[in-house]
Structure 1
Amino acid sequence: MAVRLKDIARDLGVSTVTVSKVLRNRKDVGEKTRQRVLKRMEELQYKPNLIARALISGRTANVGLVVPDLLHPYFGEVAKSLGAVLREHDRALLLASSEDDPEIEQREIRALLTRGVDMLLISSCQRKLQNIFKVGEKQTPILLVDRNFPLLDAHYVGSDDFKIGEIATEHLLETGRKRIAHIGASHLSTGHERMRGYSETLQRHRTTVPPEYVLMHERFEETGISAGQKAMQELLKLNPRPDAVFCYNDLTAIGAIEAVLEAGLRVPEDVAIVGCGNFRYAQYLRVPLTSVDQSTDQIGRTAGEEVVRLLEEPEAPARSILIQPHLRVRASSWKPA
């Protein structure tokens, strides 16, 4: 016969309400009582009826995450560290991929909302994130991750993308580069801010580059390597060609490096390359990649901590948390001797 809350309460001489509060990690239970209840639960191998709990509390203990591409190293790392925090608080993470398609994203959002997730995390591929909820529908709390919509009154956790553009460009200038190009993302907040960091850093150093040194692309998550390769091939046709390129992400940078090498040029002697993301294999590439580390693990953990906080404090005002990036210098941008 399954162990019930009332069985645990009877054994310990406490109320069923107290046992329920311990199960829900409520703070108004004394630590000594909490430990007694937890110990007895473990002894009896108690397993809560999640369906019954959801019916009573109105919460499922499920959290939804929609990302553009589950195979992309960045989003995989974020999901991993986010899930670790949620597990610590007895919550499950439901994952969905939009395939970098706004229509698929809308369908995945609706599917997660239908499943009654307690909170929805979105890294959106849309230009405008709106009309998520139907009129009269209960609104599920939202946390934006990685991609922000400043005009939307929502909580946000992500990188300081302006700083990413600034760090990458400063580094290339410090290595003596003068003709610094940028391969960027045209329709994302991350792309806009990295581009702004790049542009303002050049302006601050009174360095000008022709407009054709900036190439913007739309679907980088799915086509990062091929898009970077094609963009770099276009840049190499310019006269004079760039002597350095700051790429939107690491996959784009990998494609750019391939294009430079295929053209019979050297990295970094002829063209220095800097990416963004510092994915775990960056140091093992044919030319180890200099990259701006977004602190992906910290982004995921911070997002998880925000989920826990917001479910405890649903009326908390919207805020943005920016995780500071840092540069990982490798062979793709070393200053020529």
Structure 2
Amino acid sequence: MKRITIKDIAREAGVTDATVSLSFKPDSRISDQTRQKVLQVAKRFNYVPNLAARYLRNGHSNTVGILVTEVTNPWNAFLIRHTQEVVYQRGYQLFIAESQWSATKELSAIEAMAQLRVRGVLFCCSEKTDQSFKRLKTFALPYVLLDTSPQRYRGSFVGNDLVAAGQMAANHLLDAGCRYPAHLTGSLQDLKFSSFRKLKKGFTHALKARGVGWDESLCVAAGLTIDEGREGMRALLARAPQIDGVFCVNDLCAMGAMEAVEEIGRRTGRDLAVVGVDDIAVSSHSRISLTTLRFPHARIASLAANALLDLLERKRKEPINESIEPELIIRKSSRLARKRGAPESGTIGAE
């Protein structure tokens, strides 16, 4: 079947190619009568404009990109969904890419976005290479960092206050009566990732501030999945069987940790408190009931996406820098808090 082109529509409607192109632009100078005539012909032939050709002519598109480490990570999935809503409402499309924690794939994704003439990028960097920022600058792509930022980064950023999250987790475990709290962090190959370092920093600083000594053996590299959380917790329990509380790098890791606790006949909540990060949907399920740190996905996505679009539309000149504190959502996985007079469930904001 022959593909219908702009020339076919122009011939059928009795207008020029340029008139057909202008008919698909609501603010163009052609008359409503001509526009409707062209659009009716286009509908009859199921014609849609060739946006790739338009992008080549204009040098840019109405598309922005979002580059995350893993699209399957629940946190990133939330960000993508809310970001798409924001950019769509402002008349843009969203191009989605992932690096899978690979420097090579991250650089390749940035180059693909440049080739597709995206206007700007919302960037969850893997921190595996400094070349990503240089590549964005080379391609003159405006960007806003999402979720986390390297220590020396000074540009636009919207994300989580992970130090505050670590502090809140530590204080909650201590308030619950834990005397031997521990920490499951990211995988061995990602220990330098700034998100994991900030969570640990907040956690250990809060413990020390309350007179609880910290032993590095109580921090075990696990990862972001249930399987990794289970294996990490097994290793932690073998190393330090006396622990009575654990702060996990995310909710999936925490769920794996809960499985490992139950494997040895101990009960989550009654014998050992578990706290996660993210508050994914399943965390509130009655059979899991995981205490966790909740970050406002929609607000973070809205702030970042609107800041980027304002930069593109020259409505904003100064970089944005927002670190948003979490809420502590208390559930049964740390319910030994009841024995200390704390609430069994509810929401606590950062101090």
TM-score by length of 1: 0.82
Percentage of matched positions with identical amino acids: 27
**Counterpart-to-counterpart distance in 1, 2:100 and 2:122:** 16
* RMSD, aligned α-carbons: 2.9
Who is 1:308 aligned against?
A: 309
1:211 aligns with 2:216: yes
Q: How many angstroms apart in 1 are the aligned matches of 2:25 and 2:241?
A: 75
Query: Which residue pairs with 1:231 in the alignment?
Result: 232
Aligned-partner SS, 2:97: strand
Cα deviation code 1:118-166 (max 9, x no counterpart): 1112212234433554699442112111120232342111101111101
Number of residue pairs aligned between Structure 1 and Structure 2: 306
Contact 1:129 1:149 in 2 (8 A): no
Contact 1:164 1:197 (C-alpha < 8 Å) held by counterparts? yes
- The amino acid across from 2:213 in the alignment is T
Assess, with a 3 A threshold, how the Cα gap between structure 1 residues 279 and 135 changes in structure 2: closer, same or farther. Answer: closer
Distance 1:7 1:150 in 2: 45
Alignment CA distance shift 1:332-1:58 (3 Å): same
Secondary structure, counterpart of 1:234 in structure 2: helix
Shift of the 231–7 alpha-carbon distance from structure 1 to 2, 3 Å rule, reads closer
Letter in 2 for 1:251: L
Q: Distance in 2 between matches of 1:273 and 1:228?
A: 12
Give the equivalent residue in structure 2 for 1:183.
184
Please list every run of at least 4 consecutive aligned residues from structure 1 whose deviation after the TM superposition is greater than 6 angstroms: 44-49
Mean Cα displacement is larger for which, 271-280 or 88-97? 88-97
- Once the two structures are TM-superposed, the CA of residue 271 in structure 1 deviates from its matched residue by 0.9
Cα gap change, 1:248 to 1:48, in 2 (>3 Å): same
Q: Report the equivalent of 1:116.
A: 117
Whether the 8 Å CA contact 1:127–1:187 is kept in 2: the answer is no
How many angstroms apart in 2 are the aligned matches of 1:54 and 1:287?
49
Structure 2 letter corresponding to 1:281: V
Partner Cα distance (2:202, 2:137) in 1? 41
SS in 2 for 1:77: helix
Residue type of the partner of 1:321?
A: E
Deviations 1:55-79 (A, max 9, x none): 5643201111111111111100100
- Note closer, same or farther for the CA distance 1:148–1:331 as it changes in structure 2 (3 Å cut): same
For residues 268 and 5 of structure 1, the distance between their equivalents in structure 2, rounded to whole angstroms, comes to: 60
How much has 1:266 moved relative to structure 2?
Answer: 0.6
Residues 122, 144 of structure 1: 8 Å contact kept: yes
The equivalent residue for 2:321 is 320
* Alignment partners' CA distance in 2, 1:68 and 1:251: 16
Structure 1 residue aligned with 2:250: 249
Give the aligned partner of residue 202 of structure 1. Answer: 207
Report the Cα offset of residue 273 of structure 1. Answer: 0.2
Secondary structure of 2:239 counterpart: coil
Indicate how the Cα distance of structure 1 residues 6 and 77 shifts in structure 2: closer, same or farther if over 3 A, else same: closer
- In the TM superposition, what are the counterparts of 1:12-31 in structure 2 within 5 Å? none
| Separation in 2, partners of 1:7, 1:265 | 67
- 5+ residue gaps, structure 1: 13-39
Alpha-carbon separation, structure 2, partners of 1:140 and 1:326: 34
Partner of 1:193: 198
Cα distance in 1, alignment partners of residues 324 and 104 from structure 2: 29
Separation in structure 2 between the aligned mates of residue 6 and residue 294 of structure 1, nearest angstrom: 39
Corresponding residue for residue 21 of structure 1: none
* Partner SS state of residue 246, structure 2: strand
Q: Which residue of 1 aligns with 2:347?
A: none
Show the counterpart of 2:169.
168
Q: CA deviation at 1:314?
A: 8.2
Partner of 2:96: 95
Question: In structure 2, what is the Cα distance between the partners aligned to 1:313 and 1:238?
Answer: 56
Please give the secondary structure, in 1, of the residue aligned with 2:121.
strand
C-alpha separation in 2, matches of 1:4 and 1:239: 67
Query: Are the equivalent residues in 2 in contact too, given 1:169–1:198 (CA < 8 A)?
Result: yes
Q: 1:136 to 1:215 in 2, by over 3 A?
A: closer
The superposition leaves residues 100-126 of structure 1 with CA deviations (integer Å, 9 ceiling, x where unpaired) of 222222222221222111111221223
Instruction: Report the Cα distance in structure 1 between the residues aligned to 2:195 and 2:235, rounded to whole angstroms.
Output: 23
Matched, 1:266 2:233: no
1:66 alignment partner, SS class: strand
In structure 1, what residue type is equivalent to 2:282? Y
- Taking structure 1 as reference, are residues 90 and 48 closer, same or farther at Cα in structure 2, changes over 3 Å only? farther
- Report deviation, 1:241: 2.0
Letter in 2 for 1:245: V
Uncovered stretches (5+) of structure 2, i.e. residues with no partner: 1-12, 14-19, 43-47, 340-351
Secondary structure of the equivalent of 1:281? helix
Q: Name the CA distance, whole Å, in 2 between partners of 1:136 and 1:267.
A: 48
